[in-house]
């Protein structure tokens, strides 16, 4: 395969739909065509859509890999590795079909920047892979900005049985545009840390998580995730940093800021050397990041 052909192997269309009938019309033929060609097929969509598709496929549903995106993809930062990668990686020499719906109307404003960056980064993470990733968008329930962003993150658009090339495909712009300064937290506890004080800072993290009412297993996840952030700051972020911690109605939140800069937008979203941020994505319910010339801030959320 030539390099040009390899770069064209990924197919990544957005499917714009309104209502269940348009949803089924745009997804069921895609699934059945894959099954007819004996291709691996995976469907990762929110629970109600999952049930709708399973019912429509009948006995063929047993031949599809099913993933509830509201659980597996609640943190968008883990979707590329744990949802899309787990569907595609076991089949390196076969064409794989995936339906992935990471953005739905109930997604919160704080989640959305990580979601849209995920959609943009699919184009980089799967470049040259023989895979088709169809991304449905409920245009009746989503904000128009979300639909506009989908035009920029998908090279191909589908609606009402018509397919056309996106006139505004620009995934790099989306990644940059949503690399935004994070909103100032409410009253937060602040701890400065360096290599000599990591143990003391971890004790603070444990006590804060327990006071916030997290269960013991959640506290373990918090300690592991925040510990990775602290270690990353010490190793790659100038040797020190500042940790902030606070609670929100639905989440306990921790934020590490240091003077390091992250240049690879896929850091933490795929398996690679130095997988600290990948572990953070796997442990947290949401990860938001802002990197700038003079430093990086990583904010992690855990459901209460």
**What pLDDT is stored for residue 275 in this prediction?**
73
pLDDT tens digit sequence for 199-237: 999 999 999 999 999 999 999 999 999 999 999 999 888
What confidence category does residue 290 fall into, taking pLDDT thresholds of 50, 70 and 90? very high
pLDDT mean over 73-82: 96
CA atoms within 13 A on the CB side of 6: 7
Cβ within 8 Å of residue 185, ≥6 positions away:
244, 246, 253, 255
- What's the CA gap between 15 and 132, in Å, rounded? 12
**What pLDDT is stored for residue 128 in this prediction?**
94
**What pLDDT is stored for residue 274 in this prediction?**
57
Tokens of 38: 């004996």
Residue 4 φ then ψ, to 5°: -65, -45
pLDDT mean over 40-62: 97
Q: What's the first-to-final CA gap in the chain, in angstroms?
A: 50
pLDDT tens digit sequence for 138-194: 999 999 999 999 999 999 999 999 999 999 999 999 999 999 999 988 889 999 999
What confidence category does residue 53 fall into, taking pLDDT thresholds of 50, 70 and 90? very high
| Domains by residue range for the chain, with CATH | 3-177 (3.40.50.300), 189-303 (3.30.565.10)
Which DSSP helix (H) or strand (E) runs through 301? Answer: strand 295-303
What confidence category does residue 6 fall into, taking pLDDT thresholds of 50, 70 and 90? very low
96 has pLDDT over 80: yes
What percent of the chain stands above pLDDT 70?
96
């Amino acid at each position: 395969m030539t390099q040009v052909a390899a770069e064209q192997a990924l197919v990544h269309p957005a499917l714009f739909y309104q209502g269940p009938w348009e949803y089924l019309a745009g997804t069921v033929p895609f699934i059945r065509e894959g099954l007819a060609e004996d291709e691996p097929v995976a469907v990762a969509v929110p629970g109600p859509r999952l049930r709708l598709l399973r019912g429509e496929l009948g006995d063929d549903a047993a031949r599809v890999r099913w993933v509830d995106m509201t659980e597996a993809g609640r943190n968008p930062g883990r979707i590329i590795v744990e949802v899309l990668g787990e569907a595609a990686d076991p089949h390196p020499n076969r064409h794989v079909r995936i339906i992935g719906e990471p953005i739905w109307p109930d997604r919160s404003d704080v989640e959305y920047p990580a979601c849209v960056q995920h959609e943009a980064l699919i184009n980089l993470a799967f470049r040259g892979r023989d895979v088709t990733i169809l991304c449905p968008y409920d245009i009746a329930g989503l904000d128009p900005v979300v639909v506009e962003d989908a035009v920029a993150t998908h090279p191909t658009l589908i609606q009402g049985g018509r397919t056309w090339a996106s006139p505004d495909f620009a995934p790099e712009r989306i990644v940059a545009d949503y690399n935004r300064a994070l909103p100032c937290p409410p009253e937060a506890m602040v701890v400065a840390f360096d290599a000599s004080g990591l143990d003391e800072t971890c004790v603070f993290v444990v006590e804060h998580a327990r006071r916030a009412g997290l269960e013991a297993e959640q506290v373990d996840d918090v300690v592991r995730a925040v510990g990775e952030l602290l270690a990353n700051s010490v190793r790659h972020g100038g040797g020190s940093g500042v940790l902030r911690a606070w609670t929100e109605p639905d989440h306990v939140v921790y934020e590490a800021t240091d003077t390091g800069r992250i240049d690879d937008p896929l850091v933490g979203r795929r398996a690679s050397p130095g997988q600290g941020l990948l572990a953070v994505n796997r442990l947290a319910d949401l990860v938001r990041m802002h990197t700038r010339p003079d430093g990086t801030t990583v904010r992690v959320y855990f459901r209460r």
